[in-house]
Chains A and B, each alone.
Chain A
């Protein structure tokens, strides 16, 4: 249910941008959500629709791009996709890896009129 707080934060960012650009109406909101964030798309869309009522973003379509988890091995610098949350370098078997993608949670772009 962190989707409610996240929907509110998204709306804040979207309305600020909309106002800055003199928009009458926001039509599409595109966000990037890393897989590690565990965002439930339907829940987020539900809350977003609910809180955008009577704002410039009322009726806007919320598009969620899910970003899979990518990690980089510290010892051998190999970059790989993480499957089933196994943070293990397939090349050198090291567990000392950094997450380079999959933690993002950002408003990427909006479409306005």
Chain B
């Protein structure tokens, strides 16, 4: 006997992601799902970003996703900010359920921007919504400029791409033009920010993008509450 099912496989995950989104909206938090391959520089970016945002009075919270160890969250303990670590065990990505249980241990009431550092991997994290406002991906110049063509979903789903380690450009065959062209053919709306977490070059453009997105979200939420 044939039974027609037509059931979205990711629906259970997406439903939880939606709950997270609402919970974060109630605290007016902008949530960024930060993705890259291992070692592109996500944790270093968070260090640089927190250093710059906290003096501006923009409060940051972090969910650190790693397969094992608390090394990344330990690196961020020097900042006086809310942090929770998720160890995914065997899973190569965060899903909504893990994120929700991590967030139950994080006080969001004083947070403006929440970063969720996903597990280093260019494939799997793109499949699972975790209640973020934006997926932001990082590509480092040592990885090659053809990566958008090999991992299209992540590039298609992201709002912004950070091209990190531009201080190393001279030592690689990475072409900034080629990377832009490849990324924009998959996602013409992608905002692209070349930067170096080591020298600090280009970081301001990224900070500006984020603070603008925070403003936009606040305005949207305000309009919504007015309507009600």
Chain A interface residues (CB < 8 Å from chain B) = 1-2, 4-6, 9-10, 12-14, 17, 21, 23, 31, 36-38, 84-88, 95-96, 99, 104-113
B3 CB within 8 Å of chain A: yes
| B interface residue count range (under 10 / 10 to 19 / 20 to 34 / 35 or more) | 20 to 34
A38-B153, A85-B186 known; A2 and B128 CB under 8 Å?
yes
Binds A, one of B9-17, B44-52, B195-203: B9-17
Q: Are B127 and A95 in contact (CB under 8 A)?
A: no
CB distance from B188 to the nearest CB of A (A): 4
B8 CB within 8 Å of chain A: yes
4 interchain residue pairs of minimum CB distance: A2-B124, A95-B188, A85-B152, A1-B92
A5-B95, A36-B153 known; A112 and B1 CB under 8 Å?
yes
Main secondary structure of the interface of A (DSSP, over half): mixed
Cα(A109)–Cα(B156), bound, Å: 29
The residue of chain B having its C-beta at the shortest distance from the C-beta of A20 within the complex is B3
Cα(A12)–Cα(B1), bound, Å: 19
Main secondary structure of the interface of B (DSSP, over half): mixed
Chain B interface residues (CB < 8 Å from chain A) = 1-10, 12-13, 90-93, 95, 121, 123-124, 127-128, 149, 151-153, 156, 184-188
Cα(A38)–Cα(B156), bound, Å: 12
Q: Are B123 and A107 in contact (CB under 8 A)?
A: no
Q: Are A13 and B4 in contact (CB under 8 A)?
A: no
A4-B91, A5-B128, A85-B152 known; A96 and B188 CB under 8 Å?
yes
CB distance from B100 to the nearest CB of A (A): 15
In the assembled complex, which residues on chain B have CB atoms less than 8 Å from the CB atom of A14?
5
A107-B6, A109-B4 known; A9 and B12 CB under 8 Å?
yes
Q: Are B153 and A108 in contact (CB under 8 A)?
A: no
Cα(A5)–Cα(B152), bound, Å: 20
Q: Are A87 and B6 in contact (CB under 8 A)?
A: no
